[in-house]
Amino acid sequence: MSERFGNYQAEIYLQGYGGTTPAFSTDLTRIEESAAAVLDPRAYGYVAGSAGSGSTAAANRAAFDRWRLVPRMLAGATERDLTTTVLGTTMPAPVLLAPVGAQSIVHDGAEAATARAAASTGLPMVLSTASSTSIEDVAAASGGGPLWFQLYWPSDSEVCLSLLARAEAAGYSVLVVTLDNWSLGWRPSDLDNGYLPFLNGAGTAVPFTDPVFLGGLDASPEEEPAMAVLRWISMITGTDRTWADLAFLRKHWEGPIVLKGIQHVDDARHAVAAGMDGIVVSNHGGRQVDGAVGALDVLPEIAAAVGDRIEVLFDSGVRTGADVIKALALGARAVLVGRPYVYGLAHAGEDGVRQVLRGLLADLDLTLGLSGNTTPGALTASVLRRS
Ligand SMILES: Cc1cc2nc3c(=O)[nH]c(=O)nc-3n(C[C@H](O)[C@H](O)[C@H](O)COP(=O)(O)O)c2cc1C
Ligand SMILES: O=C(O)C(=O)c1ccccc1
């Protein structure tokens, strides 16, 4: 058993032996159910919800189910090493925390609690532009843990440059540019509830903490709060960009740049041509385009086309150790996890996020070993069978 992650399994058994069961299921496909019980129904609808009929979120899970592991025996897998190198940096496992905005709607600790939990596991946290906690405060909470910054690309370049400069100064190492959410998708749970994360009965909270953005806001008190929030969001998420515009980001960001939301092999090729360092194959957890292809379904062709020239990461629907193995075997270097850790945050703040992450890593470590594999880097499609 791997000392590092196997201990966590023993800890959970010991807790049970002492009469304490975990606050939420170690099955991350089910943690949503108990999160529904602890969250405000509208906040829950926002986090759990997805676009349209929910068919893309369902397709994400169905895509994982179509691939099965074929375990090997007596394969010398009693010792594993999950260490992975992404964009030249070593991390303890091939897992990152996906950027999730507005975390204060699920827990007062918000992104600072998430940052502390991430730092304690050594996994990189990707901070959202739409965070409820500032870039600097999250860096302070993280205490030197690995941090990446997710950029929503503002329509105003001064605001964009301010975000980039602050992220760089605060020590964020990688820039993740999200391309698939220049407008919020059609999300019936939020539409039915009249819910936007920054809009509440009492009025509005400006969703972005950047001082240049705040300084440029025109005061228009007559504007309907919902219209104001939508306008602010669209000012930050930007519109009307082209592949050529990426040169601006390349010029103003020294470190690696990763494009998030890639689903078509030609877009992956565009990313290479634009001099990007990586992509996240992702459909935003099914929150943007209803009826879209399951993210895992497009991963193999994209990895085959560009995987030797650019780092390929993956998210959307990852819930178990086996899911991580499948994504890696199909060409991803590492995966990002979204909703599960947000539910951990909702349940128990920093500790809840840590429980989710440690559980996922322990599951990954055990499933890797029990299926006869020892390192994430050695996984290929030969460990899988399509069914
Ligand atoms: C509540 C919520 C807020 C999100 N906010 C952002 C965001 O601010 N920026 C971003 O790039 N992606 C955002 N995402 C998408 C995640 O980064 C990620 O792509 C998605 O959650 C992965 O799917 P999963 O939840 O099935 O793991 C958000 C997702 C959720 C659930
Ligand atoms: O809800 C989302 O998926 C998201 O990416 C977002 C966009 C703007 C503000 C907060 C979150």
List, for residues 339-374, the tens digit of each pLDDT value. Answer: 999 999 999 999 999 999 999 999 999 999 999 999
The interface predicted TM-score (ipTM) is 0.99
At residue 3, the pLDDT reads: 61
Average pLDDT over residues 190-213: 87
**CA distance linking residue 84 with residue 99, whole number of Å:** 20
**CA distance linking residue 216 with residue 104, whole number of Å:** 24
Average pLDDT over residues 262-277: 98
For the chain, helix, strand, coil in percent to 5 are 45, 15, 40
Q: Which residues line ligand 1 (CB under 6 A)?
A: 46-47, 98-101, 128, 130, 150, 178, 260, 282, 284-285, 287, 315-318, 337-339
Identified catalytic residue from 107, 270, 284, 347: 284
User: Is it the case that residue 218 has pLDDT exceeding 60?
Assistant: yes
Task: pLDDT band for 4, please (50, 70, 90 cuts).
Answer: confident
Q: Which has more confidence, 199 or 321?
A: 321
Average pLDDT over residues 229-250: 93
Tell me the pLDDT of the chain averaged across its residues: 95
User: Is it the case that residue 220 has pLDDT exceeding 90?
Assistant: no
- 47 C-alpha vs ligand 1 centroid, how far in Å? 9
252 is catalytic: no
Query: Is 319 annotated as a binding-site member?
Result: yes
91 strand-pairing partners: 84
State how beta strands 125-127 and 147-151 pair: parallel
**CA distance linking residue 285 with residue 181, whole number of Å:** 12
Average pLDDT over residues 309-314: 98
178 strand-pairing partners: 260
User: Is it the case that residue 1 has pLDDT exceeding 50?
Assistant: no
Query: Is 101 annotated as a binding-site member?
Result: yes
Residues 6+ apart with CB under 8 A from 385: 67, 68, 70
**Alpha carbon of residue 167 to chain centroid:** 18
Q: Is 175 helix (H, G, I), strand (E, B) or coil?
A: strand
Q: Is 15 helix (H, G, I), strand (E, B) or coil?
A: helix
- 386 C-alpha vs ligand 1 centroid, how far in Å? 27
- Nearest-atom number in ligand 2 for the CA of 181 is 5
User: Is it the case that residue 2 has pLDDT exceeding 70?
Assistant: no
pTM passes above 0.90: yes
Domain 3-386 sits in CATH 3.40.50.720: no
- 313 C-alpha vs ligand 1 centroid, how far in Å? 14
What are the sequence ranges of the domains in the chain? 3-386
Average pLDDT over residues 117-142: 97
User: Is it the case that residue 211 has pLDDT exceeding 60?
Assistant: yes
Average pLDDT over residues 275-295: 98
Residue 278: φ, ψ to 5°: -165, 170
Query: Is 316 annotated as a binding-site member?
Result: yes
CB–CB of 386/67 below 8 Å? yes
